[in-house]
Structure 1
Amino acid sequence: MASSSASPASPASPASPASAVSARLPEFPWDRLEPYKAAAAAHGDGIVDLSVGTPVDPVPELIRQALADAADSPGYPTVWGTAALRDAVTGWCERRLGAAGLAHRNVLPLVGSKEFVAWLPTQLGLGPGDRVAYPRLAYPTYEVGARLARAEPVVYDDPTELDPRGLRLLWLNSPSNPTGRVLDAALLARTVAWAREHGVLLVADECYLELGWETEPVSVLRPDVCGGSYEGVVAVHSLSKRSNLAGYRAAFAVGDEAVLGELLHIRKHGGMMVPAPVQAATVAALGDDAHVARQRERYAARRAALRTALEGRGFRIEHSEASLYLWATRDEPCWDTVGDLSKLGVLVAPGDFYGEAGEQFVRVAFTATDERVAAAVRRLES
């Protein structure tokens, strides 16, 4: 006898629009790490999670105060943000990055940088037949953004050796996630010139720019890189790392006014608004360099301790001259390394999350607390 209750659709049923979209995407990588996370959590002294670079230190008081002072914000914020926010962004870019001649029309506030990376190809109108290029070892969301738009994802070692046919968007990432590699001014300038020659929009993910350790990272907005013009160039910045504001979703894009103006128009229709209190907090964060220097000191100490302990355990550290990670290898499959370290209660990210070229590396974040980093060091040295 047939049941009167509704039953779920069978596998043979037509896919829903939502499932059709998700089918374009790779497996969410962090789900594969769960068994190792459980193993690490079973350690008697608890897990030391160095897999995700999420801030753990307090939000600076002046930023929290700015957020609280702006809490009575009953009206809708604008997508373009307040004039004070745009002033803070242009001022910071000129002071910190060496950019010149920026105006409000060169600025676009973002609801965190990840949404921008994921949705930029779609908002640019890219689709089948278009190509999106990003580094061979890279933040997975570059590929996700291309696939969401039905564009073709393409990896590169040297962007100027790409076939420019159909190439609409070129991602740079310096300092790199996951490797911490920094591209110098000459290489950046050569890539900007190549992209302009072939009519390719160049977008530089510079979210780790204030976290250089062995070299000083350079922005594509610097005049000797972009030639004093922002045509065809956009830089993306985030306050998540430098100001511990990952929970605030505070970021911005700066560069080509024609590109950002078009995106602003689209994002107005989509309601992609940074909350007014977060805008006020961003103004405070960009106006203060002291808290950034203090946070750098914390990270520098954690980085040094973990690097020494990893090298003492037989790891080789490659690149890692900037960012919040150590790119480490023992010349073995990355999942073997993840499994071995999980037995010590230490969780790291397998390098193949970031591309096949990372299959013998692990990414080790130094964003845990001082106490947890010290625990990891003791275990690595045991």
Structure 2
Amino acid sequence: MGAASSSQPVSPRASLRDRLPVFPWDRLEPYKATAAAHADGIVDLSVGTPVDPVPAVVQQALTAAADSPGYPTVWGTAALRDALTGWAADRLGARGLDHTHVLPVVGSKELVAWLPTQLGLGPGDKVGYPRLAYPTYEVGARLAGAEPVVYDDPWDLDPSGLKLLWLNSPSNPTGRVLGADELRRTVAWAREHGVLVFSDECYLELGWEADPVSVLHPDICGGSPDGLVAVHSLSKRSNLAGYRSAFLVGDPTVLGDLLQIRKHGGMMIAAPVQAATVAALGDTAHVAEQRERYARRRAALRGAFEAAGFRIEHSEASLYLWATRDEPCWDTVAALAEHGILVAPGEFYGTAGERFVRIAFTATDERVDAAVRRLSK
């Protein structure tokens, strides 16, 4: 008889999932269920998803391009690149742009999550981002195997091993806007130390008590995009979250490398969405109309939450109120859920947010009015 066989347990392969925290929004589900049980229904002020109609001019452009049987390109049509460079010159004040300075991406979250990997970062490299921040900055670093590091002021970071620095102005979650002096100092520091800067400016057109400025404005960057890339999105300004349309503007060497990598990965915006993006960037009327809606909702919610004993900090821009009543954030979330109001716990955005909640004003006028009534009782 042959020797008895022995089986060894198979060691499971390491998974990318093991590098990541629990998906934060899953933790909110029990509170969402409580809020949804309210007799008058839920007022969801948590995620911040647009609820207003897609502008008619954008819908028409999408429909007109619906017969698009061929593959789109990663770099987009010439018309799209013209629209991106034109908008960046007009709105950001960026100078000397051509098609090599822009790159469309499939929504900004995809870009944030996979950027460190596409830049070739890995163990031994560091990715810096604000202490209170969109959690996907950390996720992107972890997916690449790089080290995530947080900062209060970026120039206080140890530059050794720091390969990517995220700025976010206006901030998600706090709505804070970085001033021109802060931006200039950061750009100078990053260039001195050879650190690549990506500036998340997706809320730039939603300033309320401040006028946000792009890192690509000549007053900030000296007229050169070297070492700088700005990230922009149509999700909020044009209600196009469902279209997944965003874009980068900046250093052509960095964008050229990303273009080649993204070609291999097939990371392309659908052709009808490219046409819709051209229409959205070419029309300012719908942007002004949407700003007016948000301004009304912001004023109503701010007044109601302050009257209910909340303190609002920062919040001078973006689509959120950063609020506290000086208690653990989950206690606030639970209490508001009993009134049918769902908000985001500040802990989602870093430990510094443990006593805050983020309140979106992306609900309909009717739902905002409902929240105001409930808070006044």
TM-score, with length taken from structure 2? 0.97
Instruction: Summarize deviations over 1:166-204 as a string: whole Å, max 9, x none.
Output: 000000000000000000111101101100000000000
1:196 to 187, 191, 197: 191
2:42 is equivalent to residue 42 of structure 1: no
- Give matches, 1:89-100, under 5 Å: 89-100=84-95
- Distance in 2 between the 1:91 and 1:215 partners? 24
2:94 is equivalent to residue 131 of structure 1: no
1:13 Cα deviation after fit:
5.2
2:101 is equivalent to residue 106 of structure 1: yes
2:207 to 209, 212, 218: 212
The one-letter amino acid of 2:261's match is I
- Distance in 2 between the 1:115 and 1:49 partners? 24
- Distance in 2 between the 1:365 and 1:131 partners? 31
- Distance in 2 between the 1:29 and 1:58 partners? 28
- Distance in 1 between the 2:10 and 2:107 partners? 37
2:328 is equivalent to residue 341 of structure 1: no
1:254 to 241, 249, 260: 249
- Give matches, 1:274-289, under 5 Å: 274-289=269-284
The one-letter amino acid of 2:175's match is G
2:12 to 8, 12, 15: 15
- Distance in 2 between the 1:335 and 1:92 partners? 41
Per the alignment, residue 232 of structure 1 pairs with 227
Q: Which runs of 5+ in 1 are unaligned?
A: 1-11
The one-letter amino acid of 1:239's match is L
2:347 is equivalent to residue 352 of structure 1: yes
RMSD: 0.7
- Deviating above 6 A after TM superposition, structure 1's stretches of 4 or more consecutive aligned residues are none
- Distance in 2 between the 1:285 and 1:39 partners? 38
Q: Secondary structure at the match of 1:23?
A: helix
1:97 Cα deviation after fit:
1.1
Q: Secondary structure at the match of 1:45?
A: coil
- Distance in 1 between the 2:198 and 2:12 partners? 34
- Distance in 2 between the 1:341 and 1:15 partners? 43
Q: Secondary structure at the match of 2:348?
A: helix
1:16 Cα deviation after fit:
3.9
Q: Secondary structure at the match of 1:262?
A: helix
- Distance in 1 between the 2:311 and 2:247 partners? 35
1:68 to 30, 42, 63: 63
Q: Secondary structure at the match of 1:36?
A: helix
Instruction: Summarize deviations over 1:32-74 as a string: whole Å, max 9, x none.
Output: 1011000001100000000011000000000000000000000
- Between the aligned residues of both structures, percent identity stands at 79
Aligned length: 369
TM-score, with length taken from structure 1? 0.96
- Distance in 1 between the 2:16 and 2:280 partners? 37
- Distance in 2 between the 1:15 and 1:122 partners? 23
- Distance in 1 between the 2:311 and 2:252 partners? 43
Instruction: Summarize deviations over 1:337-376 as a string: whole Å, max 9, x none.
Output: 0000000000000000000000000000000000000000
Q: Which runs of 5+ in 2 are unaligned?
A: 1-8
- Distance in 2 between the 1:46 and 1:56 partners? 16
